[in-house]
């Protein structure tokens, strides 16, 4: 099958990738770019384990072709923070026990990150609705919601302090 060059920005880096037109974005990220944070859980867009940020929107990378991502700016969990400077959400999920097996966590945090951009002052209802595209089998969501709300407060406090 003919391969195509696809240029995109991933976690701030310009990438030029050779892919078959049918290759799914999740496989390009995981197998070609070695970004194994996003996971595959359902292949049907239901579970959200593969969630990445694409041009400022949450996208499920398991049901998008890589060629569709040409020219796009993608952020995965690996681009949100690093061991020396964790993202507030990464800290908050640990602090509030917002994860157990960890399989949904990268997608969940990546989605929560976008949710807090869309709505910096969410209510519990907003968070529950905003995360409803991401499934978790372990936590029952209660501590995930708590983690996201705590992260929102912390981000807002930091913003206020900066002003």
Of 119 and 161, the one with the shorter C-beta distance to another protein is 119
Q: What is residue 82's DSSP assignment?
A: B
Of 69 and 151, the one with the shorter C-beta distance to another protein is 151
Of 53 and 162, the one with the shorter C-beta distance to another protein is 53
Least separation in angstroms between CB 55 and another protein: 20
CA angle (8, 18, 50) in 5-degree steps: 60
Footprint of another protein on this chain (CB under 8 A)? 20, 22-23, 27, 30-31, 35-44, 46-47, 49, 76-78, 81-83, 86, 89-90, 93-95, 97, 99-106, 109, 127-129, 131-145
**Dihedral (CA of 30, 13, 103, 63) sign:** negative
CB 3 within 8 A of CB 20: yes
Angle of helix 142-162 relative to helix 105-118, nearest 10 degrees, comes to 40
Least separation in angstroms between CB 145 and another protein: 6
Least separation in angstroms between CB 25 and another protein: 14
Of 73 and 91, the one with the shorter C-beta distance to another protein is 91
Q: Say how far apart CA 142 and CA 155 lie, in whole Å.
A: 20
């Amino acid at each position: 099958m003919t391969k195509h060059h696809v240029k995109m920005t991933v976690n701030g880096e310009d990438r030029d990738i050779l892919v078959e037109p049918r290759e799914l974005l999740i496989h390009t990220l995981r197998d070609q770019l070695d970004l194994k944070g996003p996971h595959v859980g359902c292949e049907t867009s239901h579970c959200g384990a593969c969630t990445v940020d694409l041009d400022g929107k949450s996208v499920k990378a398991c049901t998008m072709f890589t060629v569709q991502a040409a020219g796009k700016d993608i952020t995965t969990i690996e681009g949100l923070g690093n061991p020396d400077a964790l993202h507030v959400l990464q800290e908050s999920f640990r602090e509030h026990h917002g994860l157990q097996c960890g399989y949904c966590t990268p997608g969940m945090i990546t989605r929560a990150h976008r949710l807090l951009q869309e709505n910096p002052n969410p209510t519990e209802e907003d968070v529950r609705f905003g995360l409803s595209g991401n499934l978790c089998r372990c936590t029952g969501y209660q501590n995930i919601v708590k983690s996201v709300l705590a992260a929102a407060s912390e981000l807002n406090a930091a913003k206020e302090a900066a002003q």
